[in-house]
Amino acid sequence: NAGVTQTPKFRVLKTGQSMTLLCAQDMNHEYMYWYRQDPGMGLRLIHYSVGEGTTAKGEVPDGYNVSRLKKQNFLLGLESAAPSQTSVYFCASSWVPYNEQFFGPGTRLTVL
Amino acid sequence: GENVEQHPSTLSVQEGDSAVIKCTYSDSASNYFPWYKQELGKRPQLIIDIRSNVGEKKDQRIAVTLNKTAKHFSLHITETQPEDSAVYFCAASIPGAGSYQLTFGKGTKLSVIP
């Protein structure tokens, strides 16, 4: 089992460009999450999903959109990237809420 | 919403000594408190968690204690080893119907000196 995978691993964007980050899990987990990690800020939840076809806002949702068309995939989109979105993005999944979350390897995004 | 404070932000200990990291939370309705370890350049991984109906939980050299009255919980690592060097994050569940979220502390960088 691959667990949780993320594509791409690294990306550099110019301000105003758009991109989509892909998260995939092969554990049949219902719950999926997108976090961003900035130095000294811990992990902050952007959006999450409680099942196929559902999405909900987390702590810092502005500037991001998500979609969960298939149970195993959770996509994070940036429509118009800004330098403030430079960060490391982690996807995670869990079988049930308030239980172990399995994290992907992360995507390092730089917006110039 | 829930607010989680984590202290200290950095901690250095000699190999073999104990390390303690403390977190406080604001919402008394929070009921799930995990701890994650993140090695440099790696993904966070769960090392231990505790629920509000339990006061203490141990797993080999790692233990977590929960004081619901004071709204704080702590991670204890005994007989520290160099491989314990990492950033540790605490988290607390955000209560409320349909929430399903965790709030994380800002992290503690633990350095174990051989």
- Is B44 in Cβ contact with A104 (below 8 Å)? no
A59 touches chain B (CB under 8 A): yes
B82 CA to chain A: closest CA distance, Å? 22
> Which among B43, B91, B104 has the least Cβ separation from residue A106?
B43
Q: Which pLDDT belongs to residue A40?
A: 86
Total beta-carbon pairs less than 8 A apart between chain A and chain B: 52
Q: How many Cα atoms within 13 Å fall on the side-chain side of residue B47?
A: 24
Sequential pLDDT tens for chain A (112 residues):
789 999 999 999 999 999 999 999 999 999 999 999 998 889 999 999 999 999 999 999 999 999 999 999 999 999 999 999 999 999 999 998 888 999 999 999 999 9
- Residue B95 pLDDT class (50, 70, 90 cuts): confident
The band of B96, judged by pLDDT with boundaries at 50, 70 and 90, is confident
pLDDT at position A41 is: 87
What is the band of B84 on the pLDDT scale with cuts at 50, 70, 90?
Answer: very high
Determine what percent of chain B is predicted with pLDDT higher than 70.
Answer: 98
pLDDT of residue A92: 98
B:41-80 residues touching chain A, CB 8 A cutoff:
42-46, 49, 51
Would strands B10-14 and B108-113 be described as parallel, antiparallel, or unpaired?
parallel
Q: Tens of pLDDT along B9-43?
A: 999 999 999 999 999 999 999 999 999 999 999 99
Q: What percent of chain B has pLDDT over 90?
A: 86
Q: What is the rounded average pLDDT of the residues B31-58?
A: 95
Strands (E) located in B1-114:
4-7, 10-14, 19-25, 32-38, 45-51, 56-59, 62-67, 72-77, 86-93, 102-104, 108-113
The reported pLDDT for the residue numbered B97 is: 67
